[in-house]
Chain A
Amino acid sequence: MAPVLKLKNITRLFGKGCPSCLESTGPDADTNVCSHCGTVVACACVSLDLYHDEILGIMGESGSGKSTLLKTLHFDIAVSSGEIYFENCADINLLTMSPFEKRRIRNFEMGIVYQNPHLGLKMEVSSGGNVAEKLLMAGWKNIDKTRKRSRSLLRETEFPVGRMDEPPKNLSGGEQQRVQIARALSSNPKVLFLDEMTTGLDLSVQARILDMLRSLQKRFHVSMIVVSHDLGVIRLLAQRTAVMKYGRVVELGLTDQILEDPRHPYTQLLVNSEL
């Protein structure tokens, strides 16, 4: 079956770049900074497929380029080079589309949950309004229907719906993440990007959110890319996992296999250090 989302050689540099940037960085070079020009190679030549109903994990140490990759997929930041294909726009590299088309795809086919809720939510706008925004983008012109839909999404994420008219700045970290998830799901997207969404939450809240995500994934038939440096999160959610180091994917495979029998020395190190 064709993938929902196909990434080809996604590369993002921070800096002016030079012809030696790629060869002088990466796991073998043991750095993501080009020794010739000082450019940071945040991610390079990342090719991945995301399939229907799949949760794909991405793990790797801090600075390995996980967030940068997700942000390029959501068009938050531009790529230096690479291609993204989406099943509904077969054969067209999304990155060549106009800002208008990109925004349409981002609003209706994608959802994102950031580690930092400040990136994903308008802190002064009511929580329900944050969820409603994508519906309003889609042209919903009925307040009652919009509120009903926002309320039901918030209920799905186990948010205390009685507080939907309060702004996220009043809410706890866990509650804010629930609002982000409800918002991300509001347009019935095909793909959801989750960046360290439970990092920093206490363990019981974390466990409940992860359970909730698993059931939402089934009910909404949404494919997900889950970024985490927490192997527990990856183990619980992801069927397949990619391991990143210095901007490169060093290992890709079934999560169980990667966690039980890692091939790449770096993955072995990561997995063993967790034990």
Chain B
Amino acid sequence: MTLKEILRKTFDNGYNFAFLDEGAKREIRRKILKAVAIPGYQTPFGSRELPIARGWGTGGLQITLSIIGTGDTLKVIDQGCDGSVNAVNIKKFIGRVTGVKTTTDTNKASIIQTRHRVPEEIMTEDQILILQVPYPEALRTVEPEETETRRMHAEADYSRMWLYLYEDIVRFGEISIGARYPVAVNGRYIMDPSPIPRWDIPKLDRADTLYLFGAGREKRIYAVPPHTEVKPLEFEDYLFRVEDFGDARCRRCGSCDTFLDEIIDDETGKRFYQCSDTDYCDRRTVDGTGS
């Protein structure tokens, strides 16, 4: 499809390209630039109304709509899965208002919008990962007041977060945080990486890819630019660890080095494991790399 055709199509539908008006997109792009300039810092933005309820990825969606161009190829995943209703709906919507190509193949996508996972495939500098964020404030667990958390960030006053981890260790013998594991970005801001599993945290560190985070309900955008240090909070004697699946393997592709979902067969009641990243698993299965 040519640019002209796309424009005609979207204007015929009564929408601007990528649904948002140019002013809104410009504002969001400005906020993205600010977020990139201050890694890990939450930039407020004027969240727009979208034909999707807040809390269903509208933050990520607005970022995608603001940066997507006709030459992009889009992939949308929800908890690693291209086929989930949510991912499919968002992908359809963006496809309809932009006309861009969509894909399920991580390698072929230039923009990936995701919820709760980072793809297994190591992403490149030509790709952008957009994460949907329900709760952008990593310090909310220790401080309910927004003005106070802002002050804590401004002054890098993070002892209460460390105290929270100390208490966790005293109580449970380890840091019990699963998803939303707090990270320090560029040695400065503590950031909520969105509810990705601990497994995905190391992928944020000094990556080639630009990571953008959008929280629609809370109207915040933040970013981890390429090659930025992202360190999970940890103690020398209680180190950060990713999830351990023991000797479990993916039932489909046989993988033992991916993040696995535990699934219980409804009929037999048997437990088994399967790659949470369905695209990665599919391609390994087709390749015959799997068992």
Chain A contacts to B: CB under 8 angstroms: 99-100, 103, 122, 125-126, 128-129, 132-134, 136-137, 141-144, 146, 165
Given contacts A129-B167, A129-B170, contact A142 B159 (CB under 8 A): no
Interface flags, B225-245, vs A, CB<8A=1, else 0: 000000000111110000000
Q: B162 to chain A: which residues have CB within 8 Å? A: 136-137
A142 touches B235 (CB 8 A): yes
Q: Report if B155 contacts A (CB, 8 A).
A: yes
Q: Is the CB of A141 within 8 A of B170?
A: no
Report chain A residues within 8 Å CB of B169. 143
- Give Cα A137–Cα B234 distance, bound, in whole angstroms: 14
**From A100, A126, A143, contact of B235 by CB (8 A):** A143
Chain A positions within 8 Å of B264 at CB level: none
Pair B238/A143 contact, Cβ less than 8 Å:
yes
Q: What's the minimum C-beta distance from A125 to chain B, rounded to whole angstroms?
A: 6
User: Residue-by-residue, is B133-173 near A (CB-CB < 8 Å gives 1, otherwise 0)?
Assistant: 00000000000000000010001110110110011011000
Interfacial chain B residues near A103, Cβ < 8 Å: 155, 157
Q: Are B237 and A143 in contact (CB under 8 A)?
A: yes
- The docked-state distance in angstroms from the alpha carbon of A133 to that of B157 is 12
Q: Are A100 and B159 in contact (CB under 8 A)?
A: no
Interfacial chain A residues near B151, Cβ < 8 Å: 99
Question: What distance in Å separates the Cβ of B126 from its nearest Cβ neighbour in chain A?
Answer: 37
**CA A132 to CA B236, docked complex, whole Å:** 16
A-B contact sample (16 more), CB < 8 A, given A136-B162, A143-B166, A146-B166: A99-B151, A100-B155, A103-B157, A125-B167, A126-B167, A126-B170, A128-B170, A129-B163, A129-B166, A129-B167, A132-B166, A141-B234, A141-B236, A143-B238, A144-B237, A165-B170
Residues in B whose Cβ lies below 8 Å from that of A122: 163
Q: Is the CB of A136 within 8 A of B166?
A: yes
The interface centre, meaning the residue of B166, B235, B236 with most chain A CB atoms within 10 A of its CB, is B166
The distance in angstroms between the C-alpha atoms of A8 and B279, with both chains bound, is 70
Q: What are the 4 closest A-B residue pairs judged by CB atoms, nearest first?
A: A137-B159, A136-B162, A142-B236, A100-B155
Listed residue (A100, A126, A143, A146) with the most chain B CB atoms within 10 angstroms of its CB: A143
Contacts of B170 in A (CB 8 A): 126, 128-129, 165
Chain B residues with CB under 8 Å of A144's CB are: 237
| Interface size bracket, B side | 10 to 19
20 contacts between A and B (CB under 8 A): A99-B155, A100-B155, A103-B155, A103-B157, A128-B170, A129-B163, A129-B170, A132-B166, A133-B159, A133-B163, A134-B159, A136-B162, A141-B234, A141-B236, A142-B235, A142-B236, A143-B235, A143-B237, A146-B166, A165-B170
Question: With contacts A100-B155, A129-B170, A165-B170 known, is A136 near B236, CB below 8 A?
Answer: no
Instruction: Write the chain A residue with the least CB distance to B175.
Output: A143
Residues of chain B contacted by A132 (CB below 8 angstroms): 163, 166
A100 to B236, CA, bound (A): 26
Report chain B residues within 8 Å CB of A99: 151, 155
| Residue from A103, A128, A134, A136 whose CB has the most chain B CB atoms within 10 Å | A136
Taking CB atoms and an 8 Å cut-off, the chain B residues in 11-64 that contact chain A are none
The distance in angstroms between the C-alpha atoms of A143 and B234, with both chains bound, is 10
* A100 surroundings in chain B (CB, below 8 A): 155-156
Q: Which residues of A contact B159 (CB under 8 A)?
A: 133-134, 136-137
CA–CA, A143 to B163, complex, Å? Answer: 11
| Given A141-B235, A143-B169: A125 and B163 interface contact (C-beta under 8 Å) | yes
B155-A136 in contact (CB<8A): no
Interface residues of B in 210-252 (CB under 8 A from A): 234-238
User: Who on chain B is nearest to A134 by CB?
Assistant: B159
The CA of A156 and the CA of B170, in the complex, are separated in Å by 21
CA distance A100 to B169 in the complex (A): 28
Give the residues in chain B near A137, CB-CB below 8 Å: 159, 162
Q: Return chain B residues, CB-CB under 8 Å to A143.
A: 166, 169, 235-238
- Distance in angstroms between the alpha carbons of A133 and B167 in the assembled complex: 10
Give residues 231-279 of B contacting A (CB, 8 Å).
234-238
- Complexed CA–CA distance, A188 and B234 (Å): 25
A125 to B168, CA, bound (A): 10
Measured CA separation A132–B151 after assembly (Å): 22
Tell me the smallest distance from the CB of A183 to a CB of chain B, in Å. Answer: 12
Q: Bound complex: CA of A141 vs CA of B161, how far in Å?
A: 13
Bound: A12/B91 CA distance, A: 61
Q: Which one, A128, A133, A134, A142, contacts B237 given CB within 8 A?
A: A142
